[in-house]
């Protein structure tokens, strides 16, 4: 994704222990694609356009590569390396491939198949090739968006608008190997393409195979404007951001939610002062800057959003005056706001409701208002 690469990318997350740990340690989390909310993500369908002999070669090569790699990894853990270890790994791969091909050839003669042996073998080979492709593309994926203000992304990935959107800069040399998700097109991968990638060292075919397996999604997901970073193997979990040539440059939060989260995120990244822009975290533009400045200068809020903004500013100043974020300080704020809410209801809402009952009549027939108490009421 070199041409047209964005200057910034964004990652929507909840404000959780994992998020704080990731920011403190300057890491990114690479997830298992099977945990994605799209069950078809990274799961293409393999379609055969090759003869059975070619299908056998493809499957044998895929199995040999996978089993040999797994065997080498196991031998390395046991501190066994060298020519003998390499020969053992290759032999294990060849034996596994031979066993699988023999099983398919035998199963293709099953009378339960209502087609010829050749067609049954083609179906079995293609199905096994698909399973092998999915095994070998079993990689860690870290997802980003080029959009910072999409309400659906805030809802789906940022704890229903209560999370954070973290911006990452790409101004590094060399550039991060960011891959752009492709929306639409066929989810099918043809066996002829797999064969070119495996046997002809065709880099273009390999790139197309990588794209169709790891980067293609249905058109309905287009609103996500997604980009991805991929691990080279099955490694998942946390990876250091600087190794990926990314740097945190901004936080985006909804202004309608309490600002202690801003302080928490700033403290979490205090050790990365060279990575993050100074000043308060940015917010989504639901309240325009001119209205914010007006309220800060003493103007009265004109709607619920502006009222929430004004309250948030008061809370933020209080926390700053108290010396920063502490559980006791948060508890003080929550308690004060709860008491203010109850006092507002008791002093304002209740008398208003009583007046409306006198004007329009009560709704509750079971009401215990004056003159309507049962005779045996305690």
Per-residue pLDDT tens for 174-230?
Answer: 677 888 999 998 889 999 999 999 998 888 998 899 889 989 999 999 999 999 988
Between the two ends of the chain, the Cα-to-Cα distance in Å is: 77
Please report which confidence band the pLDDT of residue 264 belongs to, taking 50, 70 and 90 as the band edges: low
Is 2's pLDDT higher than 60?
no
The C-alpha atoms of residue 44 and residue 132 are separated, in whole angstroms, by 12
Residue 299 belongs to a domain: no
Give the span between the Cα atoms of 230 and 234, in whole angstroms: 10
Radius of gyration of the chain (CA): 30
CA distance 253 to 324: 19
- In three-state secondary structure terms, 317 is helix
**Domain extent at residue 209:** 1-42+137-286
Within a domain: 125: no
Alpha carbon distance 65, 62 (integer Å): 5
Establish if 306 belongs to a structural domain.
Answer: no
Dump the DSSP string for 28-46: EEEBPGGGSSSTTTT-PEE
Q: CA 353 to CA 357: how far, in whole Å?
A: 6
Using one digit for the tens of pLDDT, what is the confidence trace for 274-333?
434 433 444 434 677 788 888 888 889 888 888 888 888 888 888 878 776 677 888 888
Cα torsion angle, 141, 142, 145, 150, sign: positive
User: Of the candidates 135, 143, 93, 130, which has an alpha carbon nearest to the alpha carbon of residue 233?
Assistant: 135
292 within domain boundaries: no
Pick the residue with more confidence: 114 or 35?
114
Rounded (5°) CA angle 217-125-98: 125
- Residue 233 has what pLDDT? 67
pLDDT score for 243: 61
Q: What is the DSSP letter of 79?
A: T
DSSP 84-128: HHHHHHHHHHHHHHHHHHHHHHHHTT-TT-SS-HHHHHHHHHHHH
* Number of structural domains in the chain: 1
How many Cα atoms occupy the beta-carbon half-sphere of 111 within 13 Å? 0
* Residue 54 within any structural domain of the chain: no
- Does 238 reside within a domain? yes
Residue 237 lies in a domain: yes
Among 59-63, 263-267, 276-280, the range with the most confident prediction by mean pLDDT is 59-63
Say if residues 168 and 175 touch (Cβ distance below 8 Å). no
The pair of structure tokens assigned to 244 is: 């990926």
Is residue 241 over pLDDT 50? yes
Domain presence at residue 324: no
């Amino acid at each position: 994704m070199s041409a047209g690469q964005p200057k910034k990318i964004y990652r929507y997350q909840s404000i959780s222990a994992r998020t704080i740990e990731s920011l403190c340690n300057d890491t990114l989390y690479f997830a298992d694609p099977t945990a994605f909310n799209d069950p078809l993500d990274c799961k293409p369908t393999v379609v055969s356009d090759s003869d059975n002999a070619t299908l056998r070669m493809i499957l044998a090569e895929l199995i040999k590569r996978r089993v040999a790699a797994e065997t080498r990894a196991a031998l390395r853990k046991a501190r066994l390396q060298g020519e003998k270890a390499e020969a053992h790994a290759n032999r294990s791969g060849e034996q596994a491939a031979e066993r699988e091909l023999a099983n398919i050839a035998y199963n293709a003669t099953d009378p339960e198949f209502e087609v010829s042996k050749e067609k049954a073998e083609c179906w079995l080979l293609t199905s096994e090739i698909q399973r092998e492709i999915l095994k070998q593309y079993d990689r860690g994926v870290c997802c980003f968006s080029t959009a910072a203000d999409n309400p659906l992304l805030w809802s789906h990935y940022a704890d229903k608008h209560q999370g954070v959107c973290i911006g990452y800069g790409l101004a590094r040399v060399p550039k991060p190997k960011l891959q752009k998700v492709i929306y639409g097109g066929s989810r099918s991968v043809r066996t002829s393409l797999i064969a070119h990638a495996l046997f002809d060292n065709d880099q273009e075919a390999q790139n197309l195979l990588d794209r169709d397996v790891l980067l293609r999604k249905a058109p309905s997901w287009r609103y996500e404007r997604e980009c991805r970073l991929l691990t080279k193997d099955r490694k998942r979990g946390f990876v250091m951001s600087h190794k990926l040539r990314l740097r945190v440059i901004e936080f985006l939060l909804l202004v309608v939610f309490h600002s202690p989260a801003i302080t928490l995120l700033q403290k979490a990244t205090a050790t990365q002062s060279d990575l993050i822009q100074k000043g308060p975290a940015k917010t989504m533009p639901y309240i325009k800057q001119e209205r914010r400045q007006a309220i800060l200068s003493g103007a009265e809020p004109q709607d619920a959003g502006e009222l929430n903004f004004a309250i948030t500013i008061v809370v933020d100043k209080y926390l700053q005056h108290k010396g920063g974020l502490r559980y006791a300080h948060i508890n003080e704020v929550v308690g004060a706001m709860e008491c203010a809410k109850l006092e507002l209801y008791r002093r304002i809402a209740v008398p208003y409701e009583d007046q409306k009952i006198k004007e329009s009549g009560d709704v509750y027939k079971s009401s215990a208002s004056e003159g309507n108490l049962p005779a045996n009421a305690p």
